[in-house]
Amino acid sequence: MERPAWAPPGIDISVPSVSRMYDFYLGGSHNFEVDREAARKAMEFMPGLPKVMQANRAFMRRAVRFAVDEGVTQFLDIGSGIPTFGNVHEVAQQASPEARIAYVDHDPVAVAHSRAVLDGNEQATIVAADLRKPQDILGSREVTGLIDLDRPVALLLVAVLHFLENQDEPGKAVAELTEALAPGSLLILTHASYEGVPVSEEQASGTVDVYRETRNPLVMRSRDEIAAFFDGWEMVDPGLVSMPRWRPEGPLDQEDPFAFSGFAGVGRKA
């Protein structure tokens, strides 16, 4: 298998990666045939997956602008993936030139690309770390050098918690991160769910099986289970809703039904 020049040495390009599949859904070019194959297989069960990813990105951009409007200009984006157009630092720094962004991912391709994209941007950085080890993130040189945890931070957990199984204790990881953040901080979160998916649960579970084969199990959680991640946070209006319904900037009636799969919300730390 030919290794493209941009692929970091040492990565296994025979195994699909969640962040490279996401890049493919969004029309990016930093993915391998193995990723495209897995993504196409997942789309056999849920043809609207690219629409879900687009709705996810659109929500993220609205939430970042909301954070800046609220005076929060520090961003910690965990599970940030491969930087594609309209990423957090672009949206935030356009809205506020002093915005600071720390990206975190454990995928070597995502980390290598983020380094390349952020080269020369002194107010943005990338940390190679895993959400399951919050202290590694919070104590990293990159985060401590850029983010002041005594001031409000917008914590982004966008389309990442559903890749943590219950045995990984995702709730504990979120609680540890929550504890480290100052009052006035925001939690920006999206999560996959069978609720809202416009196909039967049986059909959608075919997509879940594809992810299981990629070594990245996709864990669908109920609305109540997702709401539990916001324990200790005050929900910002309109609460935990499908992604297009969170403070839309235009009419919703043209949206693809797949865009309403899963949930999005923003919480504020009292």
What is the per-residue pLDDT for 52? 96
Instruction: Check whether the bond before 238 is cis (ω within 30° of 0).
Output: yes
* Domain parsing of the chain, residue ranges: 48-208+218-269
Mean pLDDT of 183-199: 97
> What is the third-level CATH fold of 48-208+218-269?
Rossmann fold (3.40.50)
Give the pLDDT confidence of 140-182 residue by residue, as tens digits: 999 999 999 999 999 999 999 999 999 999 999 999 999 999 9
Q: Are 262 and 243 in contact (CB under 8 A)?
A: yes
Q: Are 268 and 186 in contact (CB under 8 A)?
A: yes
Mean pLDDT of 197-205: 97
Alpha helix stretches (DSSP H) within the chain: 18-25, 33-45, 49-69, 88-95, 108-118, 134-138, 141-146, 170-180, 201-213, 223-227
Q: What does the longest C-alpha to C-alpha distance in the chain come to?
A: 52
Banded pLDDT at 81 (limits 50, 70, 90): very high
Sheet holding 186-191, edge to edge: 124-128, 100-105, 74-78, 154-158, 186-191, 263-269, 233-235
pLDDT at 57 over 80: yes
Mean pLDDT of 198-211: 96
pLDDT at 193 over 80: yes
pLDDT at 1 over 80: no
Q: Which amino acid is at 130?
A: D
Give the C-alpha separation, 61 to 54, whole Å.
11
What is the per-residue pLDDT for 216? 80
- Overall pTM surpassing 0.85 (yes/no): yes
What is the per-residue pLDDT for 12? 82
